[in-house]
Amino acid sequence: MKFKFYISFLTLLTALNLNAQDCDQKATGNSKIAGDYFSWGMFPCALKEYLIIYEKKPDSKKINRKIAQCYLNSAGANKSLAIKYLDFLIKAGKPDNEVYYELGQAYLYVKEFDKSIVYLNKYLEIAKPGKETVKIVEKLKSQAYFSKEIIKHPVNVTFQNLGEDVNSEYNDMHPYLTEKEDMIIFTSDRKGVRGGYGNGDGYFPDVMLTKVKRGRDSFKGARSMAGSFNTEFDEMAAGGSPNGSYLIYTTNEEFQVFNLKITYKAPKKRSYPTAKPMEGVNGRNSNEMSATITNDGQLLIFSSNRKGGFGGFDLWMSKKLPNGIWGNPINMGPDINTEFDETYPNFSQDQSFMTFSSNGLKGMGGFDLFKTEFSEELKIWTKPKNLGYPINTAYDDNTITFVKNGRYAYKSDIRKDSHGMRDLYRLTFNDVLPIYTVVKSSVLADTLINMGDILNSLSNEAEISKRQLDSVKQIGANTETIEQYEKVHSDKLAKLNNADPFKNNFVEVTTEDGELYGQYKTDGKDGEFIMILEPGLYNLSISHDGFSTIKTKIRIYDKSNFTPELTKYFYIKPNL
């Protein structure tokens, strides 16, 4: 039996080109249709049919097995749902040997690594498979052992789903964007893409675009890119340059293999012109799936399954020659590439490091994300470092784009709050210092109130009380009387002092969740104070004896609406 312990790129390419039957038709529980879908590799379609059959035949070993296999082989499915059906087969007795293997695989997705190892060892014990299969099973076991250790030291990161205005119930993946975070270019196989052909998990994918609305922190209006970027074939975002000048995507519109196209957007231009094939890089008999290019357009790193590599897809490097043609690609070598697949290279914003995905390097399962830096001293790429859990999971983690000095990143993931299959997320690395906005603030008197008249009146009252106090002292009044006049004068002075809107303002800032963020007092000369706030929504309370308390909110924007400095004025009214 041939085993499938990860979704290889060749498997993905096959799935993307399946258009023999669209499963948009309503499932009826037809066993023949289910079998056809299954044999064509259209597992989500087969699953819909088998689940209906299961309602009538829950004790059927065949149906339980098919459902489990559909979950395990569907690219965007929650693969852990296979456990229920595989566990039934174990309890029913005399299961096929491969059921132990499949159950060991499924337990990886719920982080029950000890159970995974037990079932994989059980499979090896009873099936006694050949060398190639043993190699695959041992790799799964190594992933389980590695995962047990790496989740003990999780990365302090928070995931934020980009919401239904960006994500769909289908696969939304491979996000690329610049430091400004003003727009995201990504891939989606959602309903409504230009091709419109179903392939089981979704439709033939398009290159998509979503932008940040002015004055807001959210992305809106995800849509297929206009012009010639999308066709009735498959188009997927492949990469580009960190500054966004170059955009690269991959398509199979010409040779039935995936080739790269590139376009350059000049400074101050609003849109990308028609893309051109990357001659000298593309092969007629190989698939070029992803690429990253330096801001100056001189160095390209791309993923290809061409001959001469170490395994499936390898990372290759090419430099642009003086005549504008790309030089002969050079394999990046065994420190980066393995006998399996390395894909989706992506330069960091400052081009100091590169991320990529691999299902051959030590990871948690499927594709994991790795980071490597170029050593100027040694003239080599450093040993790839796994980005850790929960950035990496047992599912395929293909693309990540870091922004704002590594404080934030964007990637696709399958999580509990996903809208369907894969969703796009913004990650916040909480141990990396955030960006801050300096808010230069001033507390002033409400311009509708004549503070001059009020201050003059209070000053006169204080002066009168002072003369009265001096008089009672001069005539030798008793101590009790003098103390009474002293208290009146003191109260008048306090009232006058509090009437100055520039003095004695107490400012308290709390987060949206009510957590105290900072406390400030205004400068006695001009009522100024400075707040240093990271992006977010805050509650402000400004209190001052003798004045009405101000309660308001302030939002500090990030992404493309971020500004390093703001000026704010707050107006208070006296209670006099």
Summarised one tens digit per residue, pLDDT across range 466-485 is 888 888 888 888 888 888 88
Q: Is the CB of residue 160 less than 8 Å from the CB of residue 175? A: no
pLDDT at position 78 over 90: no
Q: Is the CB of residue 104 less than 8 Å from the CB of residue 124? A: no
Top-ranked range on mean pLDDT: pick from 192-201, 258-267, 373-382: 258-267
Annotate 459-478 with DSSP letters as a single string.
HHHHHHHHHHHHHHHHTT--
Within its chain, how far is the Cα of 567 from the centroid? 31
Place of tokens 């104070």: 529
Q: Which residue has the higher pLDDT, 446 or 537?
A: 537
Between CA 161 and CA 159 the distance in angstroms is 7
Between CA 293 and CA 263 the distance in angstroms is 12
Same-domain check for residues 417 and 495: no
Between CA 496 and CA 519 the distance in angstroms is 25
Q: Which residue has the higher pLDDT, 456 or 465?
A: 465
Q: Is the CB of residue 413 less than 8 Å from the CB of residue 397? A: yes
Q: Is the CB of residue 230 less than 8 Å from the CB of residue 253? A: no
Q: Is the CB of residue 293 less than 8 Å from the CB of residue 299? A: yes
Q: What is the DSSP letter of 362?
A: S
Same-domain check for residues 141 and 168: no
Alpha helices by DSSP H, listed for 362-478, are: 451-474
Task: Write down the pLDDT at residue 499.
Answer: 62
87's enclosing H/E stretch is helix 82-92
Amino acid letter, residue 528: E
Q: Is the CB of residue 32 less than 8 Å from the CB of residue 53? A: no
Same-domain check for residues 180 and 65: no
Same-domain check for residues 171 and 69: no
pLDDT at position 270 over 90: no
pTM of the model: 0.83
Same-domain check for residues 170 and 313: yes
Planar angle of CA 62, 63, 66, nearest 5 degrees: 85
Q: 359, 394, 429 — which closes off a domain?
A: 429
Strand partners, 301: 292, 317
Annotate 326-345 with DSSP letters as a single string.
BPPPEE--TTT--SS-EEEE
Neighbours of 348 (CB within 10 A): 18
Top-ranked range on mean pLDDT: pick from 224-238, 297-311, 453-467: 297-311
Using alpha carbons, select from 101, 95, 90 the residue that is nearest to residue 136.
Answer: 101
Would you state the structure tokens that stand for residue 457, as one six-digit string? Answer: 């009146």
Same-domain check for residues 401 and 539: no
Same-domain check for residues 214 and 315: yes
Work out the pLDDT band at 505, boundaries 50, 70, 90. Answer: confident
Using alpha carbons, select from 195, 163, 289, 217 the residue that is nearest to residue 437.
Answer: 217
Same-domain check for residues 122 and 163: no
Domain assignment present for residue 333? The answer is yes
Between CA 259 and CA 288 the distance in angstroms is 5
Using alpha carbons, select from 68, 112, 74, 114 the residue that is nearest to residue 92.
Answer: 68
Between CA 244 and CA 352 the distance in angstroms is 16
Same-domain check for residues 210 and 70: no
Strand partners, 401: 410
Task: Write down the pLDDT at residue 22.
Answer: 53
Neighbours of 521 (CB within 10 A): 11
| Mean pLDDT score of the chain | 89
Q: Is the CB of residue 431 less than 8 Å from the CB of residue 558? A: no
Work out the pLDDT band at 32, boundaries 50, 70, 90. Answer: very high
Between CA 192 and CA 48 the distance in angstroms is 21
Work out the pLDDT band at 5, boundaries 50, 70, 90. Answer: very low
Same-domain check for residues 116 and 20: yes
Domain assignment present for residue 1? The answer is no
Between CA 560 and CA 557 the distance in angstroms is 8
Q: Is the CB of residue 133 less than 8 Å from the CB of residue 3? A: yes
Q: 119, 150, 181 — which closes off a domain?
A: 150
Domain with 52 in it: 9-150
Same-domain check for residues 454 and 553: yes
**Residue 134 belongs to domain with CATH number:** 1.25.40.10
Domain assignment present for residue 3? The answer is no
Q: Residues 380-389: pLDDT tens digits?
A: 899 999 999 9
Same-domain check for residues 21 and 123: yes
Q: 150, 171, 204 — which closes off a domain?
A: 150
Q: What is the DSSP letter of 383?
A: P
Between CA 168 and CA 376 the distance in angstroms is 43
